[in-house]
């Protein structure tokens, strides 16, 4: 299949777009001016069910929807577009709306960027002891954009890749100085949009550095969902697969952290072939997805997705809660509903699917999982635990928050049982003041 990108300027060339009403097309243009919009020929031709586009999860995954913006913001942008404003004005008005959408949640820019040799490593985050994130500069885009993406400011040029670097030597230097790090997670955007030659360079450099404490290389990618031909027919498909094999041949584990939002993405011939190719390199594939209203907020979707993944030899890993940024009001599921959906899905599948962890929030103190809802002496509470913590000692200690059926995120929660604060609050604020 030929890779064709569609975005705001050319999406009307998508043959199936004729099925949309004029109003729906205009809505795409209004919202697509504020939030990122990009899709491609595979998503359009093989994944979306155009006869049912209004409810189609993959359509909603790529095409901006009216309700992703607050009504007043939508109306304002619609007016700006209809008035025939020039590009600069449109951009300025779009940025004003973007600023209201919490573009930098969970202190990502400020808190997690380390230094090596006196240099700030802008393309590295080291938040949890064992795992370092690397954002290669060439991998800061994706084959299509998810409408819910929490990295959306990067794709609207608000951030201009603040979060990226090319200098693998610095990454390796930093790794060598940090014996606690066992995992490097290469992420983006999507690092698999990089040319095969670059992927090979980075992976080879990591392998040849021969760092004794480095055990796992992980790659976070949505290519299996958005462009599986990356591993089948792209010119450099074999080069990529060979680079994976170099990692596993060297005795390191390669974990391909695949992002799937719906079981539909697992059903095409292309994705199933691509999965086989990746697994044949000795890499494992693990999966992650946020829980998203309008896309996958039903237990059956998750249980089916996990079952299909396991059948294809893939390991379910994370269910996330949608972050407090961008179109969260549209996609967000309350914590109470999230737990219920998780519990219903989890209890329907066999133990081999229950490797999944969640539902989990990636927030400033760590990854907080909702273990469940309980009642103690008449007070209803969420049971929570860290599955990752800024201090690893916080991990796996149950703690309690007042039950609320409205809470969408950690910030909406209060300690339960008359506690003044959560057990980690003091230490957390000391970390940032100290």
Ligand X SMILES: *Cc1c(COP(=O)(O)O)cnc(C)c1O
Which stretches of the chain bind ligand X, using CB under 6 A? 125, 127-128, 131, 133, 185, 362, 367, 387-388
**Cα torsion 210, 211, 212, 216: sign:** negative
* Identity of the residue, 155 or 263, whose beta carbon is nearer to ligand SF4 in the bound complex: 155
Which option in ligand X, ligand SF4, none does residue 131 bind, with CB closer than 5 to 8 A by kind? ligand X
Of residues 183, 148, 172, the one with CA closest to residue 62: 148
Per-position DSSP letters for 39-83, written without gaps between them = EEHHIIIII--GGGTTT-HHHHHHS--GGGS-HHHHHHHHHHHHT
Does residue 151 belong to the site contacting ligand SF4 (CB under 6 A)? yes
Length of the chain (residues): 434
Which option in ligand X, ligand SF4, none does residue 190 bind, with CB closer than 5 to 8 A by kind? ligand SF4
Rounded to the nearest whole angstrom, what is the least distance from the CB of residue 241 to ligand SF4 in the complex?
20
* Identity of the residue, 142 or 172, whose beta carbon is nearer to ligand SF4 in the bound complex: 142
Does residue 190 belong to the site contacting ligand SF4 (CB under 6 A)? yes
* Identity of the residue, 125 or 307, whose beta carbon is nearer to ligand SF4 in the bound complex: 125
Rounded to the nearest whole angstrom, what is the least distance from the CB of residue 128 to ligand X in the complex?
5
Residue listed under structure tokens 């009001």: 329
Which option in ligand SF4, ligand X, none does residue 125 bind, with CB closer than 5 to 8 A by kind? ligand X
| DSSP state at residue 278 | H
Of residues 258, 270, 186, 189, the one with CA closest to residue 231: 270
Using left for φ > 0, alpha for ψ between -120 and 50, and beta otherwise, residue 326 falls in: left
User: Using CA atoms, how far apart are residues 80 and 72, in angstroms rounded to an integer?
Assistant: 12
* Identity of the residue, 222 or 230, whose beta carbon is nearer to ligand SF4 in the bound complex: 222
Rounded to the nearest whole angstrom, what is the least distance from the CB of residue 3 to ligand SF4 in the complex?
16
Helix/strand/coil for 226: helix
Which option in ligand X, ligand SF4, none does residue 142 bind, with CB closer than 5 to 8 A by kind? ligand SF4
* Identity of the residue, 223 or 288, whose beta carbon is nearer to ligand X in the bound complex: 288
Number of other residues whose CB lies within 10 A of the CB of residue 196: 19
| Binder among 37, 74, 134, 145 for ligand SF4 (CB under 6 A) | 145
Does residue 322 belong to the site contacting ligand SF4 (CB under 6 A)? no
Query: Is 74:94 a contact under the CB 8 Å cutoff?
Result: no
Rounded to the nearest whole angstrom, what is the least distance from the CB of residue 190 to ligand SF4 in the complex?
5
Rounded to the nearest whole angstrom, what is the least distance from the CB of residue 172 to ligand SF4 in the complex?
24
At residue 100, φ and ψ (nearest 5 deg) are: -80, -10
Rounded to the nearest whole angstrom, what is the least distance from the CB of residue 335 to ligand SF4 in the complex?
21
Rounded to the nearest whole angstrom, what is the least distance from the CB of residue 232 to ligand SF4 in the complex?
19
* Identity of the residue, 40 or 362, whose beta carbon is nearer to ligand X in the bound complex: 362
* Identity of the residue, 78 or 338, whose beta carbon is nearer to ligand X in the bound complex: 338
Give the torsion through C-alpha atoms of 152, 103, 167, 229, to 10 deg.
-10
Which option in ligand SF4, ligand X, none does residue 367 bind, with CB closer than 5 to 8 A by kind? ligand X
User: Using CA atoms, how far apart are residues 427 and 434, in angstroms rounded to an integer?
Assistant: 10
Q: Which residues contact 60 (CB under 8 A, 6 or more apart)?
A: 147, 294, 295
User: Using CA atoms, how far apart are residues 372 and 385, in angstroms rounded to an integer?
Assistant: 10
User: Using CA atoms, how far apart are residues 93 and 97, in angstroms rounded to an integer?
Assistant: 7
How many whole angstroms from its chain centre is CA 256?
14
String of contacts with ligand SF4 for each residue 208-237, x by CB under 6 A: --------------x---------------
Rounded to the nearest whole angstrom, what is the least distance from the CB of residue 149 to ligand SF4 in the complex?
3
Rounded to the nearest whole angstrom, what is the least distance from the CB of residue 163 to ligand SF4 in the complex?
11
The site that binds ligand SF4 (CB under 6 A) totals a number of residues, namely 10
Q: Copy the structure tokens of residue 267.
A: 């059903």
Number of other residues whose CB lies within 10 A of the CB of residue 61: 27
Does residue 297 belong to the site contacting ligand SF4 (CB under 6 A)? no
Does residue 330 belong to the site contacting ligand SF4 (CB under 6 A)? no
* Identity of the residue, 154 or 304, whose beta carbon is nearer to ligand X in the bound complex: 154
Residue 344, judged by CB atoms within 10 A of its CB (0-12, 13-18, 19+), counts as: middle
Does residue 323 belong to the site contacting ligand SF4 (CB under 6 A)? no
Query: Is 134:209 a contact under the CB 8 Å cutoff?
Result: no
Which option in ligand X, ligand SF4, none does residue 231 bind, with CB closer than 5 to 8 A by kind? none
Does residue 264 belong to the site contacting ligand SF4 (CB under 6 A)? no
Rounded to the nearest whole angstrom, what is the least distance from the CB of residue 185 to ligand X in the complex?
6
Query: Is 184:175 a contact under the CB 8 Å cutoff?
Result: yes
Binding site for ligand SF4 (CB under 6 A): 142, 145-146, 149, 151, 188-190, 222, 259
């Amino acid at each position: 299949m030929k890779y064709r990108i569609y975005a705001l300027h050319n999406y009307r060339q998508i043959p199936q777009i004729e099925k949309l009403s004029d109003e729906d097309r205009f809505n795409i243009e209004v919202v697509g001016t504020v939030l990122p919009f990009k899709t491609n020929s595979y998503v359009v031709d093989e994944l979306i069910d155009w006869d049912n586009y209004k409810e189609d999860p993959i359509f909603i995954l790529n095409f901006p929807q009216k309700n992703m913006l607050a009504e007043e913001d939508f109306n304002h942008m619609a007016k700006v577009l209809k008035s025939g404003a020039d590009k600069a004005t449109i951009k300025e008005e779009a940025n004003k709306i973007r600023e209201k959408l919490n573009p930098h949640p969970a202190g990502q820019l400020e808190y997690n960027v380390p230094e090596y040799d006196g240099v700030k490593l802008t393309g590295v985050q080291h938040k949890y002891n064992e795992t370092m994130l690397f954002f290669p500069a060439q991998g800061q885009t994706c084959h299509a954009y998810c409408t819910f993406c929490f990295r959306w400011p990067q794709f609207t040029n608000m951030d201009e890749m603040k979060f990226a670097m090319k200098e693998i030597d610095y990454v390796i230097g930093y790794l060598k100085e940090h014996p606690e790090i066992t995992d490097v997670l290469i992420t983006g955007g999507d690092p698999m949009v990089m040319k095969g030659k670059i992927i090979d360079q980075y992976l080879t450099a990591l392998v040849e550095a021969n760092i004794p404490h480095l055990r796992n290389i992980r790659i976070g990618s949505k290519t299996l969902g958005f462009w599986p031909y990356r591993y089948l027919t792209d010119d450099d498909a074999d080069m990529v697969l060979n680079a994976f094999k170099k990692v596993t041949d060297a005795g390191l584990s390669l974990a391909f952290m695949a992002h799937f939002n719906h079981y539909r993405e697992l059903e095409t011939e292309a994705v199933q072939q691509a999965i086989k190719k990746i697994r044949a390199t000795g890499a494992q594939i693990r999966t992650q997805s946020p829980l998203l209203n309008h896309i996958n907020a039903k237990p059956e979707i998750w249980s089916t997705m996990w079952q299909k993944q396991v059948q294809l030899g893939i390991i379910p890993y994370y269910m996330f809660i949608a972050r407090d940024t961008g179109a969260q009001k549209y996609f967000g599921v309350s914590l109470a509903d999230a737990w219920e959906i998780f519990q219903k899905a989890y209890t329907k599948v066999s133990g081999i699917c229950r490797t999944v962890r969640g539902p989990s929030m990636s927030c400033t103190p760590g990854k907080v999982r909702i273990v469940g809802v309980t009642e103690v002496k008449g007070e209803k509470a969420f049971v929570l635990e860290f599955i990752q913590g800024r201090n690893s000692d916080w991990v796996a200690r149950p703690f309690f928050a007042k039950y609320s059926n409205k809470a969408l995120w950690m910030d909406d929660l209060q300690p339960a049982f008359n506690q003044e604060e959560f057990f980690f609050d003091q230490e957390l604020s000391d970390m940032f003041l100290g």
